[in-house]
A and B are shown apart, each in its own frame.
Chain A
């Protein structure tokens, strides 16, 4: 059994256990949930530490069990440089999400059951190497997301937000499924497989015909784009996150949302290189929509969660810009942004969740001066906001700067606008958020607000900031592991564009007299 099977099996096991424990043993339920998410963190750290990207084997820790042989579907897990960091990030965020779930006081048993199913689905969505299972686990993680927003969510718009996010993401996922099946059907009968390695090997030797590529790529781009809140399909995200319970927002914004990007990198870029190259310019424009437009929207927000939600949408733009650069530096940077933003989004939503629990509002006009009451949470908030506008020392800086370096040669103008969007717009809304929430005079009504005092309550925040700093100061921990795998993807994605004439008969019957 692979280590990854344990990582992704534990949450499901925990969910089963939670189901069997009577609902009034709340402490035991919490402990089970905490335990089955703590062990994967240790396993993932150990795996990350021992991972060596030596050439030879493409995927480490892999395990393959045939599931539906007639369709070429198998349970296959494994990691390479691309998903290694994501798996580590997912386990840490999952652990932190369970830590901050003590805010939930009603129907705890159901809550932890759904949370663990969601976590298991998330782990599966990043550990698996079988396209069918990737999709399967992603859907499995989405369903609890919807239910949790509907039940434990907050705010007046909760029902509206639930239905909006459900319909957006269901349709996005189905469009992507359409594209995935279309890719699968490009392989001739008999050797059809959903296995990522099998598909890669086949498409490396037999590129997909141009017309099919141009048909499939938009399906994948927009299907997964909806899942990642690519502008202009992002409207579900801020409202959905604003209404979601803290842990759900952390897990979805931090981890699950990265699934779409991950799949674009794993499937759309390497398997459909010609179509991808013709869409690069459009992706570059759309990602500016994320960075600049959503940045402006974030500036106007009065609600802290909507600000964070919009800024999280804005950050997705950098990943798309990194993909659009189609260069090793850019793609590596994009992957670091994915990992870093996972920690960051989880951190900011955890903090805003804490503040909401204390103040019962996230309206920034009402708040102010909270730093005096919340020295620890406030400091963490300032660090998170700084990381969000790209302060060196945090992992986000490393990722975003690599993306910008990578993108400059192909898209100098776009890069310049993106820098402006990141540094100026990002700084304005982040710093304004800090000022409105933490600085200024303290209103009397917040006298009852208390800080996270016990060490245990501080663990999730410290853990998330710790990882941001570690990868910020030593990005080489990630880059060295990512590079060979990213290079392998790019080798397929950067293939010279198939000349149209290649389809014509090679020896035209021209008689020379």
Chain B
């Protein structure tokens, strides 16, 4: 047993529990500032992850370190995602502090739940065993049941919570059933051991059924077709910071698990059904983009956009190649800054408003050029305009798919679907931009004051989007190094 490898998770877990304790002594008026303390701890953990002596093996060239009888793996891929989740959680915590006045009671529990969700994501990044997969996913999902319905006074928030609970429980059931079937046939839940038996197991229909059910459980997490239906409702109803964390963290956790399972445990399933990922990806892209066209609610629009983005990222996974996985990691990083930037703006402009209608953006350009610029950059990045992160990400994804196209023309069809999807998405993303700059019916033109933390989030997200768009080399090498473990 080598528990010291989990030092990052341990600190985060202690911080979350500590937060709950400190809450007891904190005067009510000060409670909201606990979020900064939590963010500071995460910042320290993030920095520590680069220097931790426990990881020295990794820094010195070892590829994988194991703990708990190979259930827990630490490798560059896990570290990449752990840092990814930490960055996302820090930004989300800042957002949550800004959001604190819209939460009636229990703000420190709100922070603590964000940390617990983060803990689940960090464990997911290191999962090397189906039990681990299930536990970490449940940790994420259960905390999100609470988080999505945190604005108890709002009907939409409760509705989002219930919908997420029912569908989430269903998908967990499917996942655990799948795991049980795989275990029943192979006699183990450990990834490497299942991998070793793959050749013999592939003939068993029960094993295939189990694998498919596992993939379905994961598809729920990343909001891919045919398990996408929760995303728009939940995105719309949840409190802003929760939606942001759901969009970035929960989706990325789903993808890291998908990568681990596909390459670490069940590679032959994909060779058995070569087109399953391609079909899921293509339909997600079309569904997300087509449904987003008529949306007027910003958060709902981003909900549909998140479905289509799941489709784009699956394009990279479906390529089953190193280039594809690099593209997935890179795209997710760009997506983090893009989506968090967009939600920072949306959270600010919906303050004191009944809904998140797109008409709120009218005159935003006069009211606050900074918010307008940030949201514009986010939309540009989601479309894939050059010089912002999304362009480079899509470029890498499409390139990975075309590379595989020589062997299987289905990839070419998928690329054409992506082209159509991007074309459609240009329509509704530009609709948002148009509302910001060119809407004629702006009623309220009073300037929007922006607090320092929101300003910081926006600067960080804009810097991230532009840096990733203009200087991708450093992060491509980082991602390329991280996915090495998946491809021998």
* A contact set with B: CB distance below 8 Å: 67-71, 110, 135-137, 139-140, 143, 146-147, 150-151, 163, 166-167, 170-171, 174-175, 177-178, 181-182, 184-185, 212
Contact = CB atoms under 8 A, between A and B. Distances in A.
B87 interface: no
Given A110-B437, A151-B438, A163-B427, 16 more contacts: A68-B472, A68-B476, A70-B473, A70-B476, A139-B385, A139-B386, A140-B387, A147-B430, A167-B424, A174-B422, A174-B423, A178-B402, A178-B415, A178-B419, A182-B405, A185-B402
Contacts of A185: 399, 402-403, 406
Nearest to A132: B395
Interface residues of B, number: 32
Interface string B4-32: 00000000000000000000000000000
A175 B430 contact: no
Contacts of B473: 67-70
A166 B438 contact: no
Q: Is the contact region of chain A dominated by helix, strand, or loop, or is it mixed? A: helix
B402 A136 contact: no
B270 interface: no
A468 B398 CA distance: 42
B269 interface: no
A70 B480 contact: yes
Contact of B420 (A136, A137, A171): A171
Contact of A71 (B406, B433, B476): B476
Contacts of B418: 174
B402 A182 contact: yes
A147 B476 contact: no
A167 B402 contact: no
Contacts of A170: 422-423, 426
A174 B387 CA distance: 16
A469 to B, nearest CB: 37
A384 B233 CA distance: 58
Contacts of B304: none
Contact of A181 (B385, B399, B420, B480): B399
Nearest 4 A/B pairs, CB to CB:
A174-B419, A171-B423, A136-B386, A139-B386
Contacts of A110: 437
B386 A140 contact: yes
Interface in B418-474: 418-420, 422-424, 426-427, 430, 433-434, 437-438, 472-473
Interface string B392-413: 0001001100110110000000
A146 B429 CA distance: 13
A245 to B, nearest CB: 14
24 contacts: A70-B476, A70-B480, A136-B387, A136-B391, A140-B385, A143-B380, A150-B434, A150-B438, A151-B438, A163-B427, A166-B426, A166-B430, A167-B427, A170-B422, A171-B419, A178-B398, A178-B402, A178-B419, A181-B398, A181-B402, A182-B402, A184-B399, A185-B399, A185-B403
Interface in B366-401: 380, 385-387, 391, 395, 398-399
A240 to B, nearest CB: 15
A166 B424 CA distance: 10
Contacts of A135: 386
Given A70-B473, A171-B420, A181-B402, A166 B437 contact: no
A166 B427 contact: yes
Nearest to B396: A71
Contacts of A146: 430
B105 interface: no
B437 A167 contact: no
B477 interface: yes
